[in-house]
Amino acid sequence: MKTLTNATVRSGAARDFIKKLNSQKLLILMILPACVYFFVFHYIPIYGIIVAFKDFSISSGILGSRWVGLKWFYEFFNSYVFWRLLRNTLMLNVYNLMFGFPVPIIFALLLNEIKGKRIKRTIQTISYLPHFISVVIVVSIMNLLLSTTGGVVNKAVAAFGIEPINFMYEKSWFRFLYVFSAIWQNFGWNSIIYFAAIANINKELYEAATIDGANRWKQTLYITIPGILPTIGIMLLLRLGSLMSVGFEKIILMYNPSTYEVSDVISTYVYRKGLLASNFSFGAAVGFFNSVINFIILVASNYISNKLSGDTIGLW
Amino acid sequence: MKKVMSLALAGVLFLFVGCTKETEVAQKSILMNTLPVELTTDVAAPYSLPLEKNEGATLKIAAFENLYGAASYAENLPVWQEIERRTGVKIEWEVIPSSQYAVVMRTRLAASRDIPDIFCLPDDSMVPQLASSELLLPLNGYINEYGQHTKKLYEKFPEAYLLNRDQDGVVYTLSDVYTEGNTVKMYAALIRKDWLETLGLSIPETLEEWTETLTAFKNQDPNGNGMKDEVPLAVSTMISLAPFASAYGLHSAYSGFWGVDALGKVQYEVLTNRYRDYITYLNMLYRNGLLKFFLNDQNGRNLLVHQNSVGCTGAEMSGISQNYIKGLISAGVKAPQVVSILPPKTPSADIVFEERTSIARRVAVYKNTANPDMAFKWLDYVWGSEDANVLLNFGIEGVSYNMVDGKPILSDWTLNNPNGLDPASAVRSLGAFPSFLNVQNGEFLKQWSSEGEIEFAAKAVSNMAKPFPLQVILTNEETQILSAYNSDISSYFEEMQIKFIMGTEPLSKFDEFVSTLKEMGVEELTKVRQAQYDRYKK
């Protein structure tokens, strides 16, 4: 008797499951390509991580190469430049976060206050145009503007009687230039998600607030900002998750030996030592180390965020 | 019945296996032949053209894209059509722009899939790595068997052999050979001779004269616009400072500061006091505003040159001087003169003018290629023979050159190209002057050089010194040492060098710099370089 009920229960559960599957088959079909994509291009290649623990040689391939344990990690940690790379990578990201993160939010809030739809759209379009310019062009523009021989900036500086500044060669300017140009290039694009979040806030809240006598400032403070807070939180978490990664393309275009001290980051080092000098294993080890740190930061900040917000703002 | 059948089958199988074994052995004997290359004896089996009579013989070739970008090798350019006609072998091109070649090819080789029959190495230092990965065909057996042209070329340009054999004497690669080109086209400092004349100066010969000249450029307004906007010395790569290094007896242009003393002992010159004096001098130039850097920003430098603001710029192929002159004329300068000059004299009163490296861009045959004999013969003919050399340098007869008294002479089409191309680009548009297997022909280069260039070259040749043989093929162990130490050391060195010059790091820290370099493993590197040098001299 007992077994029978169990079986019926099970078959009941199975029936439910199939029923659910049936009713959501279109949804499942829609999400399938994404799943396949992630599996094929992001999960399967993970086995390549083992290269970091091997002495990769072309002939023996990934699986056949000799195991060397943590050799490459030791080599990296004991490297002459390890602390400098770590510091530079973190500093660039922290600056980028500190100054770059609030800008699109403030921009979205300000633009939200503009009444004319046409002006609003125009400003928005112009603001995210730079996003589509390649970094090569951005750096060339910087080179031209900041040149000591005929650059506009130095001409302006000279008008105030200040000696021309060799911007691209002075290490004290590197971080500012890097972060500032990144903000200029991306704030418009990054603000799009906040516009979307603002548009999603229930309009009745504003009406109610107007009736209660709240001015624009109060409305922003008590309706708009709390309304987009979850979005801000999630964006912040995602940013924290890449706190240890800096794209090397722009730095390689911008740096020169005289600014290595502040501009050399983990990814440029991997590029020079891993790719240019064909040390694939070393490059993989450093990249793996980088990802692990990123992963830890992401999990930790998500945990903290969940704790602080009472499980309302978090990635999972 | 069954038994008999299976026995017969087994017999057939055995025979089959036996057969393949035998041919394999015959193949292997030449495949594996790594006996020394017999330089003096004739080849065992000279071949004749065409290499293949039956149609359909093809070779897949991966190479750097044509330097004249508008005509791709993949379009089957006239010169290569001619090669196909002569050899009877079709070429299946796979060309990749040189900026991406290394990355693309390296990944392909790492996956060891879909490798062409003949390919340019992504990186000239990869020979040991690729050889031990069983990707490169050892050529010794083939050279002894068929290398009729290769042997002659080795005799003419010994470095083509010395810099392409490994520690056991195995040759895996052929390469560009610049030896002859280096006596015609050389990299040297360029100076504005008309500025010198305006200021009543002569061409500087000693270091003191250089300093005086640069100072005069700075202060005496040679461009005559009433402003002190002159940049006496504009530099976009560190190699441009080589003339000044030469003045201190340092080898910076093509030797990476590796020098050899009279006893044959290799030394990293950065650790010496001579190097310290050299950067002290550069620091003085920089402090006085005589030297300006345009690293990563060649366009910025060129812009300034064309604006009539630069007095002297670093080591450049002298063909550039025509470009500068053109730019200056279009900027409204009357009769500008840009000439190459020799480096200043060293304290011992001689001149060290480093010759450009004599080989570049190695080319190899894939070990598992279907027809290694054909692949090698093709290379031997295209790389080594005089006929092919004329074709690959001068281009197509009747178009880019004509035969006059049995000698190829560049045509008017090349020298005054109707499409406005410079001579190098003109022949490149036909597929000549290629970006691989380029054995430079001195006569060809001479014919499109300016008189000033030829005159300078004649004067410079007697002062030229061979650079340190950094291209000598490393062993696997040496490669490992190099990859462990070299990139850290060179970034540290580059960083400190420019800091010393710009004065952001005081010169009093030089000793500290030297001891850090030693801590970082310079001695290990020195051992590798010494081994390279010893093998080169052997």
Among the partner-chain residues B110, B297, B495, the one whose CB lies closest to the CB of A260 is: B495
What is the DSSP-derived secondary structure letter of residue B361?
Answer: E
Q: Spell out which residues of chain A touch residue B304, defining contact as CB-CB under 8 Å.
A: 149-150
Which phi and psi angles does B334 have, rounded to 5°? -85, 125
Instruction: Identify the top-confidence range among A214-228, B27-41, B274-288, B447-461.
Output: B274-288
Q: With contacts defined as CB-CB under 8 Å, which chain B residues touch A150?
A: 304
pLDDT over 50 (residue A161): yes
Q: Which domain holds residue B343?
A: 187-354
Instruction: Map B158-217 to HEC letters.
Output: HHHHHCCECCCCCECEEEEECCCHHHCCCEEEEEEHHHHHHCCCCCCCCHHHHHHHHHHH
Residue pair B377/B191 in contact (Cβ under 8 Å)? The answer is: no
Residue B420 in domain: yes
Residue B464 makes CB contacts below 8 A (sequence gap 6+) with B182, B183, B186, B353, B354, B355
- DSSP codes joined into one string, A42-91: IIGGGGGGGGGGEE--TTTHHHHSEE-TTHHHHHHHTSTTHHHHHHHHHH
- CB-based contact B314:B237 (threshold 8 Å): yes
Q: Does B283 touch chain A (CB under 8 A)?
A: no
pLDDT higher than 60, residue B303:
yes
Identify whether residues B206 and B331 lie together within a single domain.
yes
Check: CB of residue B153 under 8 Å from CB of residue B383. yes
The per-residue pLDDT for range B331-383, each reduced to its tens digit, is 888 889 888 888 898 877 778 888 889 999 999 999 999 999 999 999 999 99
Does A277 reach chain B within 8 Å, measured CB to CB? Answer: yes
DSSP B256-277: TTEEE-TTS-EEEGGGSHHHHH
The answer to whether B321 and B309 have CB atoms below 8 angstroms apart is no
Run of H or E residues at A196:
helix A171-199
User: What are B130-169's pLDDT values in tens digits?
Assistant: 888 889 999 999 999 899 999 999 999 999 999 999 999 9
And the tokens for B111?
A: 């996956």
Q: Do B262 and B363 reside in the same domain of the chain? A: no
ipTM: 0.73
B104, B192: one domain: no
B239 touches chain A (CB under 8 A): no
- How close, in Å, is residue A36 to chain B by CA atoms? 24
Q: Chain B contact for A165, CB < 8 A? A: no
Residue type, B196: L
Is 60 exceeded by the pLDDT of residue A200? yes
Residue B12 pLDDT:
45
Residue in chain A lying closest to B476 (CA): A57
Q: Tens digit of pLDDT for each residue in B158-209?
A: 999 999 999 999 999 999 999 998 888 888 889 999 999 999 999 999 999 9
Which chain B residues contact residue A65 at CB under 8 A? none
Same domain, B318 and B366: no
Verify whether the Cβ–Cβ distance B109 to A58 is below 8 Å: yes
Q: Rg for chain B (alpha carbons), in Å?
A: 27
Answer yes or no: are the C-beta atoms of B332 and B338 closer than 8 Å: no
Tell me the residues of chain A between 230 and 249 that have a Cβ less than 8 Å away from chain B.
none
Contacts of A264 in chain B (CB under 8 A): 491
CA atoms of A180 and A178, how far apart (whole Å): 6
A257 with B295: Cβ contact below 8 A? yes
Q: What's chain A's average pLDDT?
A: 87
User: Which residue from A57, A149, A256 is facing B231, i.e. has the nearest CB?
Assistant: A149
Show which of B322, B354, B386 is a domain's final residue: B354
Q: Which residues of A touch B495 (CB under 8 A)?
A: 257-258, 260-261
Residue ranges of E strands in B210-358: 231-235, 258-260, 266-268, 291-293, 310-317, 338-341, 353-354
A261 to chain B, any CB pair closer than 8 A? The answer is yes
Instruction: CATH number of the domain at B375, please.
Output: 3.40.190.10
Collapsing DSSP to helix, strand or coil, B108 comes out as helix
Look up the pTM and report it. 0.81
Read off the pLDDT of residues B378-389 as tens digits, 9 standing for 90 and up.
999 999 999 999
Q: Are residues B229 and B199 in the same domain?
A: yes
Helix (H) or strand (E) holding A208: helix A203-211
Q: Which amino acid is at B396?
A: I
The CA-based angle B499-B521-B362, given to 5 degrees, is: 90
CA A307 to chain centre: 23
Reference B220, options B242, B196, B203; nearest CA is B196
Q: How far is B393 from chain A (nearest CA, A)?
A: 31
Give the span between the Cα atoms of B299 and B396, in whole angstroms: 34
Asked if residue B316 is part of any domain, the answer here is: yes
Which residue type is seen at B521?
Answer: G
Helix A117-128 to helix A171-199 angle (10° resolution) is 140
- Placement of tokens 């300000």 in the chain: A110
Q: Decide if B173 contacts B363 (C-beta within 8 A).
A: yes
Mean pLDDT on B438-455 = 89
Across the range B418-444, mean pLDDT stands at 93
Q: Which of A91, A80, A75, A47 is nearest to A286 (CA)?
A: A75
Distance (Å, whole) CA B341 – CA A213:
82
Whether B152 maps to a domain, the answer reads yes
Residue B446 one-letter amino acid? K
> Average pLDDT for residues B296-318, to the nearest whole number?
81
From the CA of A178, how many Å to the nearest CA of chain B?
16
* Interface contact flag, B292 A149, Cβ < 8 Å: yes
Q: What is the tally of structural domains in chain B?
A: 3
Per-residue pLDDT averaged across B382-401, rounded?
Answer: 95
Number of residues that this document lists for chain A:
316
Q: State the Cα–Cα distance between residues A287 and B185, nearest whole angstrom.
A: 44
CA-nearest of A152, A141, A142 to A177 is: A142
What is the structure's pLDDT at A169? 87
Task: Please provide the DSSP assignment of B87-107 as one string.
Answer: H--EEEEEEE-HHHHHHHHHH
- B202 and B335: one domain? yes
Tokens read off for B48? 């004749």
CB B282 within 8 A of CB B211: no
Q: What domains, with CATH codes, occur in chain A?
A: 2-40 (no CATH), 71-309 (1.10.3720.10)
Query: Which chain A residues are within 8 Å of B299, Cβ to Cβ?
Result: 140, 143
Total residue count of chain B as it appears in this document: 538
Rounded-to-integer distance, Cα B310 and Cα B194, Å: 12
Tell me, what DSSP letter sits at residue B331? Answer: T
Angle at B323 between CA B297 and CA B312, to 5 degrees: 60
Residues 6+ apart with CB under 8 A from B270: B257, B493, B514, B517
Torsion of CA B523, B524, B525, B529, to 10 degrees: 90
Residues B156 and B237 in one domain: no
Question: Which residues are within 8 A (CB) of A52 and not within 5 positions of it... i.e. 6 or more apart?
Answer: A72, A73, A281, A284, A285, A287, A288
Task: Answer yes or no: is pLDDT of B9 > 50.
Answer: no
User: Would you state the pLDDT for residue B25?
Assistant: 45
Q: Test A168 with B297 for CB contact under 8 angstroms.
A: yes
Asked if B97 and B235 sit in the same domain, the reply is: no
* C-beta separation of B149 from B383 below 8 A: yes
Give the range among A23-32, A111-120, B101-110, B239-248 with minimum mean pLDDT.
Answer: B101-110
The reported pLDDT for the residue numbered A64 is 82
> Alpha carbon of B287 to those of B227, B241, B284, B503: distances in Å?
20, 16, 5, 8
Query: CB contact, 8 Å: B491 with chain A?
Result: yes
Q: From residue B532, how far is each of B162, B266, B271, B474 by CA, in Å?
A: 11, 10, 20, 7
pLDDT tens digits, one per residue of B34-80: 678 887 778 888 898 888 888 889 999 999 999 998 999 999 999 99
Q: Does B290 touch chain A (CB under 8 A)?
A: no
Q: How far is CA B466 from CA B187, B190, B342, B463, B471, in A?
A: 14, 21, 16, 10, 12
Q: Are strands B231-235 and B310-317 parallel, antiparallel or unpaired?
A: parallel
User: Quick one: closest CA in B to A275, which residue?
Assistant: B103
How far apart are alpha carbons B313 and B316 in whole angstroms? 8
> Is residue B275 located within the same domain as residue B290?
yes
A23 CB near a chain B CB, below 8 Å? no
> Quick check: helix, strand or coil at residue A244?
coil
Chain A residues whose CB is inside 8 A of the B497 CB are 257
Q: Where residue B100 falls among pLDDT bands split at 50, 70, 90?
A: confident
Would you say residue B456 lies in a domain? Answer: no
Instruction: Return the ∠ at Cα A145 (arms to A144 and A146), rounded to 5°.
Output: 95
Contact A62, A48 (CB under 8 A): yes
Write out chain B residues lying below 8 Å of A277, CB-based: 483, 486-487
Tell me how close the Cα of B294 comes to any Cα of chain A, in angstroms.
9
Which residues in chain A (43-102) have CB-CB distances under 8 A to chain B?
57-59, 61, 75, 79-81
Q: Identify the closest residue of chain B to A256 by CA–CA distance.
A: B295
B206: closest CA among B316, B312, B347, B354?
B347
B297, A279: Cβ pair inside 8 Å? no
Distance from CA of A203 to the nearest CA of B (A): 53
| Alpha helices for B432-475 (secondary structure H) | 442-447, 451-461
CA distance B48 to B45: 10
All residues of chain B having their beta carbon less than 8 Å from the beta carbon of residue A257 are: 295, 491, 494-495, 497-499
Q: For B500-538, write each residue's pLDDT tens digit.
A: 999 999 999 999 999 999 999 999 999 999 999 999 998
The amino acid that residue B136 corresponds to is L
Q: Are residues B79 and B153 in the same domain?
A: yes
Name the residue among B110, B491, B502 with its Cβ closest to that of A258. Answer: B502
Task: Evaluate whether residue B467 is within a structural domain.
Answer: no
Residue B170 lies in a domain: yes
Side chain identity, residue B384: G
Give the CA diameter of chain A: 98
- Residue A306, chain B, CB below 8 Å: the answer is no
Strands B258-260 and A66-67: unpaired
Per-residue buried b or exposed e for B152-164, using 16+ beta carbons within 10 Å of the residue's own CB: ebbeebebbbbbb
Q: Do A80 and B130 touch (CB under 8 A)?
A: no
pLDDT tens-digit series, residues B453-504:
888 888 888 888 899 999 999 998 998 898 888 888 998 999 999 999 999 9
Angle, alpha carbons A278-A282-A288 (nearest 5°): 130
A258, B300: Cβ pair inside 8 Å? no
Q: Are residues B211 and B344 in the same domain?
A: yes
| Residue B42 belongs to some domain of the structure | no
Asked whether residue B22 carries a pLDDT value surpassing 50, the answer given is no
B354, B384, B408: which is the final residue of a domain? B354
Residue B457 in any domain: the answer is no
Query: Based on the domain organization, do B350 and B375 belong to the same domain?
Result: no
| pLDDT value of position A232 | 92
Q: Which chain B residue has the Cα nearest residue A171?
A: B504
**Å from A264 to nearest chain B CA?**
10
User: In a 10 Å sphere around its CB, with 0-12 CB exposed, 13-18 middle and 19+ buried, how is residue B346 labelled?
Assistant: middle
Which of B123, B134, B299 is facing A278, going by the closest CB pair? B123
